[in-house]
Structure 1
Amino acid sequence: MAQTAFAPWDDPEAKPLIEFRHVTKRFGDFIAIDDLSLEIYEREFFALLGPSGCGKTTMMRMLAGFEPPSAGTILLSGQDIAPVPPNKRAVNMMFQSYALFPHLTVWDNIAFGLKRDKLPKEAIEARVAEMLKLTRLEKFARRKPHQISGGQRQRVALARSLAKAPKLLLLDEPLGALDKKLRQDTQFELMDIQEKTGTTFVIVTHDQEEAMTVASRVAVMDEGRLIQVDTPDRIYEYPNSVYVADFIGDVNIIEGHAEKSGDGYEVTFAEGQPKLRAKTANGLRGSGRCYLAIRPEKIAISSQEPQDAANAVRGVIDDIAYLGNLSTYYVRLDNGKIIKAQTANTRRIAKRDLTWEDSVWLSWTDTAAVVLEN
C-alpha cells in the first residue's frame, strides 16, 4: 500500500499543535515580531529561517516561555501558554552551546531532568537507556563531555532534551558548532530521531541548506514578518518574492517589463536583447515591471546556438567556479548583465569544453523562470 504523504497543513480538519495568533513582540521602540500568525502541526519538523535579527530566535524564546508576547496569543494544544511558566510547559529547548554539565557523565546529563522530576529510579534507568540507544551513545555513557567529540556532545544534548518526552522540542542553531561534513551527517541523524520519537521539532537556523534538508516546512522570515511558509521544494521552485528567491539557493534575477502573451508573458529586459518568454503559476496582476527568477541549474550553456529554444541569449564566459560536482559559469551578456549557468561535472576537469572568454549561448525553457512582482 502506498505511503500517505505527511501534510497536515493541507488538511482542513487537522488541528495545529502550535498557533501564533497576531503575535507582536516589542523591545522598547523596536518591533521584533510584527503581527505574526502561524500554525505548526504535530510531528512536524519546522524550520524558522532568516538572517540575523529577523525575529526567529524571539519566536522560539516566546514558545519556551523566556519572553512574553507584547500582543496576541500563543496556543499549545489549544491552550494559551502565556500563564504557564517555562518549567511547566510541555516544551524543551536545546541550546546552540548544548549547555551540558561538564562534571557529570553522559548518563547523568541525560538523567538530570528526570531526577529533578523525582521519577522512580527504575523509570529513570529505563528512559536513559532508551535515549542512549536512540542517539547511539551506549558505549559513551560513563564518559564526561570533554571526553567525547562535538557531534557526540550534540547527541547528548538532544537525548537530554528528549528524555522528558516533550510535545515540542526547540532547537536553536543546534549544528552551528559542527564542521560542514559532521553537520551534514548530523542533519540526517536529527531527521531520523525526530521521525522515531514523533516529537514536533522547531529549529532556528540561518543556514538555508540545513533548513531545506531537515524541515517538512520552512518559514522564511525578515524583519519580524513571515515572508513565505511552505515545503522546501515549493519555496525553492515557487518563491513568492525576490527576497525569498534570492535568500534560498543560487538564483539569477532579471528585472524587466512584462506583457501578457497567450498563456504566459513576454519580458523586455535590455536594449538589443531578445524578449524573454515565461509561463508561470505565480502570475502578475497585469503588465508592467517584473522580475524573472531563474535557477542556474535550469540554464543550459553551449558553444552552438540552440535550435527552437524558448529563450536564448548570447554572452562571454567571465568566470568559472569549480565546486567539485558542479561548475558555475558566470556569463556576461552584451549589456553587461551577468547570468549564472550551472552544469554537473560528469567528466574530469581536464575534459572541460568551455573556458574563460569563450563566446557561448545560454538557453532555458519558458517554464524555467518564475515571474515575480516584488
Structure 2
Amino acid sequence: MKPAVKPAAVFAPWEDENETPLIRFDGVTKRFGDFTAIDNVDLSIHRKEFYALLGPSGCGKTTLMRMLAGFEAPSEGTITIGGQDMKGIPPNRREVNMMFQSYALFPHLSVWDNIAFGLRRSDMPKDQIGERVKEMLRLTRLEQFARRKPHQISGGQRQRVALARALAKAPKLLLLDEPLGALDAKLRQDTQFELMDIQEKTETTFVIVTHDQEEAMTVASRVAVMDNGKVIQVDTPPRIYENPKSVYVADFIGDVNLIEGRATLKDAGLASLTWAEGAPEIIATAGEGLVNGAKATFAVRPEKVAISAERPDDRNNVVHGRIHDIAYLGNLSTYHVEIAGGQIIKAQTANNRRLSRRSFTWEDEVWLSWTDTAGLVLAG
C-alpha cells in the first residue's frame, strides 16, 4: 500500500490568530480639505499575501496605496509595516517599492540598466549588482532582451522590466498601481498568471490597486472591496463571489440578478422574500443583519439559475417568464427572461451543443428555477 499523500497546506495566515500582519491600518482617515478620501479604515495584510484593493474610480484605493508608499500621510490613525509606525518616515526610508501603471522606464537606458538603476543608488556592493540583475532577468524571462531599449520591446515585456526593477532591491512590500491597465485583454490575462508565479517565487507581499474585478479575483489571495473611502468587505475571491455581505458587493462583483422585496426569517439559516403580487415567495440563504418584514434584496448568480421548457417539480423557487433577449458569448449563452412585474432575470447555460440544436429562442415561454441555497437574501 502506498503511503498517504499529505495535502498541501492552505495559505490563510489571516485565519491564524497567532500570525502577526505585516501591514496594519488602524482607524486611518485621509482628508483633502473638506473631502474625506479615506474614512476610518482598519486593514491587516499578511506576509506573502497577494492583496487586492478593488473598487470604482474615486473610491479611495489609490489614496490607501499612496499612504502605504509614504507619498501621503494619514489625517488620523496609524499605519504600521513590520510593526513599525510609518508616521514621518519618507518613501525612500521604507522597505516598499512601487510599480506604476505607466511603468516609468528610462527610455535612453537598456533593459539591463533600467533594472540596475536603483541598485546602483543603494548600499549593495558594486560587485553584486550584476548577479542581482541577471537573477531578475531570469525571473521575468527577459535575458534575451537585456541590451534592448524600452521602445524595442513589447508592452508585456516593458511591464516585466518594471516588475524586475521594482523587485531588484528585495522590498518587503511591492505596490502595483493598475499595473496591467495598458495591456490588451489577452496579454493582460497571460500577465496575471505571470505576476502570480513571480509573487509566489519571490514570496514578496504584493498589494495591487485595480478596478478590474476579474483581475482582482484571479491574482489575489484576498480582496478588499471599497466604496466612498470605506472598506465594504475583505475576503477571499470565492467568498466575495459566493457570500457577499451586502447588495453593493454582490452587484459590484461579477454578474448577478437582484430582486427587491420584504424578508421573513426562517429556520436552518434560510429566509423568504415576498417580492411581487401573486408571485411565489423566494427561499434563499439568509444574509447578515436581516430583520423580519424589512426591505431586503435577493441575489443569485445567472449560472445558478436553470432554464427549462417544462415546470420543474423538485424545487421551491420556480418562476415563469418569456425570453426577452439572448447574449451569445461563445462558450456561454445568457438568457434575459422577463418575469412578473417586468423584472428581467438572467440565466446562463454552457454551449455544449451547436447553435442550430439549442432549445430556446426569442419570445419562448420558459421556467426559471434555482435551489434554496443558490442565492442570498441580503439586508437593504
TM-score by length of 2: 0.97
Q: 1:261 to 1:20 in 2, by over 3 A?
A: closer
2:112 to 69, 89, 107: 107
Kindly state the Cα deviation for residue 290 of structure 1 after the two structures are TM-superposed.
1.1
Q: Identity over aligned residues, as a percent?
A: 70
SS in 2 for 1:154: helix
**Can you give the 5+ residue segments of structure 2 that lack an aligned partner in the other structure?**
1-5
Quote the Cα distance in structure 2 between the aligned partners of 1:24 and 1:324. 46
SS in 1 for 2:341: coil
Q: Which residue pairs with 1:275 in the alignment?
A: 281
Quote the Cα distance in structure 1 between the aligned partners of 2:45 and 2:285. 32
**Can you give the 5+ residue segments of structure 1 that lack an aligned partner in the other structure?**
none
For 1:224, the aligned partner's letter is: G
Root-mean-square deviation (CA), in Å?
Answer: 1.0
Contact 2:273 2:377 in 1 (8 A): no
Q: Does 1:139 align with 2:144?
A: yes
Within 5 A, what are the aligned runs for 1:1-12? Answer: 1-12=6-17
Quote the Cα distance in structure 2 between the aligned partners of 1:148 and 1:174. 17
Q: Does 1:329 align with 2:323?
A: no
Kindly state the Cα deviation for residue 88 of structure 1 after the two structures are TM-superposed.
1.1
Q: Does 1:161 align with 2:166?
A: yes
User: Which deviates more from structure 2 when the two are superposed, residues 30-39 or residues 280-289?
Assistant: 280-289
Kindly state the Cα deviation for residue 281 of structure 1 after the two structures are TM-superposed.
5.8
User: Which deviates more from structure 2 when the two are superposed, residues 299-308 or residues 88-97?
Assistant: 299-308
Q: Which residue pairs with 2:156 in the alignment?
A: 151
SS in 1 for 2:147: coil
Quote the Cα distance in structure 1 between the aligned partners of 2:185 and 2:103. 18
Kindly state the Cα deviation for residue 335 of structure 1 after the two structures are TM-superposed.
1.5
Contact 2:288 2:379 in 1 (8 A): no
Q: Does 1:348 align with 2:343?
A: no
Q: Which residue pairs with 1:198 in the alignment?
A: 203
2:251 to 239, 246, 251: 246
User: Which deviates more from structure 2 when the two are superposed, residues 289-298 or residues 119-128?
Assistant: 119-128
User: Which deviates more from structure 2 when the two are superposed, residues 256-265 or residues 133-142?
Assistant: 256-265
Kindly state the Cα deviation for residue 283 of structure 1 after the two structures are TM-superposed.
6.2
Quote the Cα distance in structure 1 between the aligned partners of 2:54 and 2:153. 30
Kindly state the Cα deviation for residue 287 of structure 1 after the two structures are TM-superposed.
3.8
Quote the Cα distance in structure 2 between the aligned partners of 1:334 and 1:21. 47
Q: Which residue pairs with 2:296 in the alignment?
A: 290
Within 5 A, what are the aligned runs for 1:170-189? Answer: 170-189=175-194
Contact 1:20 1:36 in 2 (8 A): yes
Quote the Cα distance in structure 2 between the aligned partners of 1:350 and 1:305. 24
SS in 2 for 1:318: strand
Q: Which residue pairs with 1:364 in the alignment?
A: 370
Q: Which residue pairs with 1:95 in the alignment?
A: 100
Deviations 1:233-253 (A, max 9, x none): 000000000000000000001
Contact 2:276 2:340 in 1 (8 A): no
Deviations 1:182-228 (A, max 9, x none): 00000000000000000000000000000000000000000100000
Q: Which residue pairs with 1:217 in the alignment?
A: 222
Q: 1:276 to 1:118 in 2, by over 3 A?
A: closer
Quote the Cα distance in structure 2 between the aligned partners of 1:88 and 1:363. 58
Q: Which residue pairs with 1:120 in the alignment?
A: 125
Quote the Cα distance in structure 2 between the aligned partners of 1:261 and 1:200. 43
Q: Which residue pairs with 2:3 in the alignment?
A: none
Q: Which residue pairs with 1:67 in the alignment?
A: 72
Contact 1:283 1:371 in 2 (8 A): no
Contact 2:264 2:291 in 1 (8 A): no
TM-score by length of 1: 0.98
1:39 to 29, 41, 44: 44
Contact 2:265 2:291 in 1 (8 A): no
For 1:184, the aligned partner's letter is: Q
